Amino acid sequence: MVTRGFSSGRRPPTDDDARIPPGQYLEQGFPVLSAGPTPRVGTQDWSFTLKHGPRPIKKWNWAEFNALPQTKMTRDIHCVTAWTKFDTSWQGVLVDDILADAGLEPPTGFTLAHAFDGYTTNVPVKDLTAGKALVALLYEGKPITPDHGGPARLLVPHLYFWKSAKWLNGLQFTTRDEPGFWELRGYHIYGDPWREQRYTDDP
Amino acid sequence: MSDAAAVQSPWQVARIVRIEKRTPRVTSFFLQPSRPFAYRAGQHVDVRLTAPDGYQARRSYSIASAPESGGVIELAIEKLDDGEVSPFFHEVAAIGDEIELRGPLGGHFVWPEDGNGPLVLVGGGSGVVPLMSMVRHRAARNSSVPVVLVFSARVWDEVIFRDELITLDDRQDGFDLVLTLTREAARRPADYSRRVDVAMMAQAMARLPEPPGLAFVCGSNAFVSAAAQALIDAGVAAENIRTERYGI
């Protein structure tokens, strides 16, 4: 349905339409969104725990985690609130390298990412492995600020950005695909921006 | 937490049936969906505009009206000069126009139905919109839940819904309004003229008969960060603070 009087002339300019998923617009800044106050997590209090169901597999402190192999990743990111940001650059530990350090083959097909503020989000294993996702420790070469999820956040850039949990403190393998915080509150179970999977009933 | 999953709905056409200027920068658009829907106070809708070349822009807007207000929903939209959707509403949209919308959306920043005790609502600028739905909902159902709304605006003339809020405040039925102006002197005796801080939050909460069960904070990212920290410093547990940020 064409909206009377609306034209694409106000659209924020982009030199590469093919990089913008349907319904998104190009954002130059880096907006901050979260469901609660920003937790202040000091690196001395930070830890990351890998779990299979309720059972802890391995736990790293900040120094141990930073000693794991680090990978740089520059990707476009897409927020469900409709902004897309090009070429965000991150550095951190690939989920593949976390599993390798734990000596673990994925025991199930699904995970829940956990955060210090109680936030959770579900991501299938196939979307985390084979170099697709990392636990980011640096943004543009510097420690990630608290409002963007520091000390560490998940980065799953090919899914809507609510999947890239801020203030990450663990990854839990689950038997079933268990919906997380926003997935229980109306948002899509998978969240592919190219299929515009924003809300629960999107195909 | 025990929020129910939000009920979804597909895109539908809604007609603009009324337009009302609220402040120099904020105008309310009253939309009549072709398929009216039930919603909870605090929820939002997505609006989609389509250009002749097929380009579409979508944005989320909080609902300002109470769920009890019938089939027409009110969106109070602030004009953002560098935006592409809000300038369309302010400069082009007219009564009778049809807009595509989808909703209700959001299952977290919503009035709690199951009695969480007194509520603190903190809004900055147009961040008051979803809180206004809650305040109107409370009034419409004659709820006895004590509520204090701290509303920060730059100047008196930018206090959205000002007359209606003051009228509700005057009822003295357990709803308290605290206005704070950041660029002008306070106009009412118990109001403030400064940015929100811990002392203001403590004094606002002292108007409640018991400590709040939940706090809702909405506004710009800078406002929400400052207000949420002030609430924490005034003794509200972080897990009881729900926030909604414009992003910027």
| CATH code for the domain in which residue B215 is found | 3.40.50.80
Q: Do A201 and B10 touch (CB under 8 A)?
A: yes
Low-confidence residues in chain B, pLDDT < 50: 1-7
Pair B46, B92 in one domain: yes
pLDDT of residue B8: 59
Q: Which two tokens stand for residue A74?
A: 């520059």
Range of the domain at B229: 119-245
| Cross-chain Cβ contact B6/A22 below 8 Å | no
pLDDT at res. B4: 43
Contact B99, B33 (CB under 8 A): no
Which one of B39, B109, B245 makes the best mutation probe of the A interface by having the most chain A beta carbons within 10 Å?
B245
Ranges of each domain in chain A: 60-203
CATH class of A60-203: alpha beta
Nearest CA of chain B to the CA of A193: how many Å? 14
**Based on the domain organization, do B153 and B91 belong to the same domain?**
no
Query: What per-residue confidence (pLDDT) applies to B114?
Result: 63
CB of A35 less than 8 A from some CB of B: yes
Q: What is the pLDDT of residue A8?
A: 82
Q: Closest Cα to residue B127, out of B213, B54, B228, B49?
A: B228
One domain, residues B183 and B139: yes
Residue A46 above 90 pLDDT? yes
B237 and B132 housed in the same domain: yes
Answer whether residue A103 shows pLDDT above 80: yes
Residue in A2, A8, A30, A196 to test binding to B, most B beta-carbons within 10 Å? A8
Report H helices in chain B. 86-91, 129-140, 162-170, 198-205, 221-233
The answer to the question of residue B110 being in a domain is no
CA pseudo-torsion sign A105, A107, A110, A112: negative
CA distances from A145 to A139, B83, B97 (A): 8, 27, 44
Please indicate, yes or no, whether residues B75 and B128 belong to a single structural domain of this protein: no
What is the Cα–Cα distance from A160 to B50, expressed in whole angstroms? 23
pLDDT digits (tens, 9 = 90+) for A133-157: 999 999 999 999 999 999 999 999 9
Is the per-residue pLDDT at A190 higher than 60? yes
- Please give the tally of structural domains in chain B: 2
Q: What is the pLDDT of residue A93?
A: 98
Minimal CA separation from A186 to chain B, in Å = 5
pLDDT computed for residue B142 by the predictor: 93
Q: Does B246 touch chain A (CB under 8 A)?
A: yes
pLDDT of B9: 76
Q: Are residues B97 and B149 in the same domain?
A: no
- Tell me if A82 sits within 8 A of B58, measured CB to CB: yes
Q: Which of B221, B242, B244 to mutate: most A Cβ within 10 Å?
A: B221
- Chain A partners within 8 Å of B53 (Cβ): 7-8
Say yes or no: ipTM exceeds 0.85. yes
| Shortest Cα distance, chain B CAs vs residue A85, angstroms | 13
Tell me, yes or no, whether B5 lies in a domain.
no
> Is B114 within 8 Å of chain A by CB?
no
Closest approach of B29 to chain A, Cα-based (Å)? 16
Could B245 and A7 be called an inter-chain contact, meaning their C-beta atoms sit closer than 8 Å?
Answer: no
Q: What is the pLDDT of residue B6?
A: 45
Q: State yes or no: pLDDT of A16 exceeds 90.
A: no
